[in-house]
Amino acid sequence: MHPDLTPHHADCLLFDWDGTLVDSQYANYRAMAAVLATEGVRLEQEWFDARTGLSSGEMIRTLIRERALELSRPVGHLVADRDEMFLKEAHAVRPHREVLQVVEAMHGRVPMAVASGGARRVIEETLRHQPFSGHFDTLVTRDDVDRGKPAPDIFLRAAELLAVRPARCTVYEDSDEGIEAARSAGMTVIDVRPHTRTRPRSGA
């Protein structure tokens, strides 16, 4: 485990999913870009990468506001199609090795949860393909709270389920929105990006 990723004085660990536990960025981008293309919208990967802390629905709504778009289908339908496209690649999603080492080292020592702005069904399906599939005590998703990140609701709900005070939780995150959410929850946060960044893929 890298020293910068080692938790200190934590009674529980909360892990974001996409980009933190798993390297799903490109698969997520391809699924979102494909769905928006059916609406005649071109999604640049740079735009997508800058907003990875948002849920799919919030990302589409942000795009609509920024570009004054009028889409033919409701946001919920687009998100459902995006999820279906992503699930076709779920088996190929791999963990971030550096964060995997943290999960394996701390398993059985402190309670751990996945706390993500993603959809429960998508995470559960992808999680079952991961080497740490049995390592977490609970899963909290965007489906379980009223507000997604950068609101603190997801992390606070996870702490509640683990019966740990927020101040005693350490969060692992890879987005500005997630870091803001963790800090708003009064939790310690570790930014994994210096250890998980991958080189851009050609053709993206």
pTM of this prediction exceeds 0.95: no
C-alpha 54, offset from chain centre: 8
75: domain range? 25-90
Task: Verify that 126 and 179 share a domain, yes or no.
Answer: yes
Last residue of a domain, one of 41, 73, 90: 90
Q: Annotate 94-115 with three-state secondary structure.
A: CECHHHHHHHHHHCCCCCEEEE
* Residue 201 pLDDT level (bands cut at 50, 70, 90): very low
Task: Verify that 130 and 145 share a domain, yes or no.
Answer: yes
pLDDT in tens, 173-187: 999 999 999 999 999
Contact 53, 177 (CB under 8 A): yes
Q: What is the CATH number of the domain that holds 172?
A: 3.40.50.1000
Classify residue 203: in a domain, yes or no: no
pLDDT in tens, 127-144: 999 999 999 999 999 999
The domain tally of the chain equals 2
Task: Verify that 102 and 189 share a domain, yes or no.
Answer: yes
Task: Verify that 99 and 189 share a domain, yes or no.
Answer: yes
Residue 198 pLDDT: 55
Among the listed ranges 16-20, 34-38, 48-52, 133-137, which one has the minimum average pLDDT value?
48-52
Q: Across the chain, what does the average pLDDT equal?
A: 93
Last residue of a domain, one of 71, 90, 109: 90
Q: Please say if the pLDDT value at position 71 is more than 80.
A: yes
Contact 32, 82 (CB under 8 A): yes
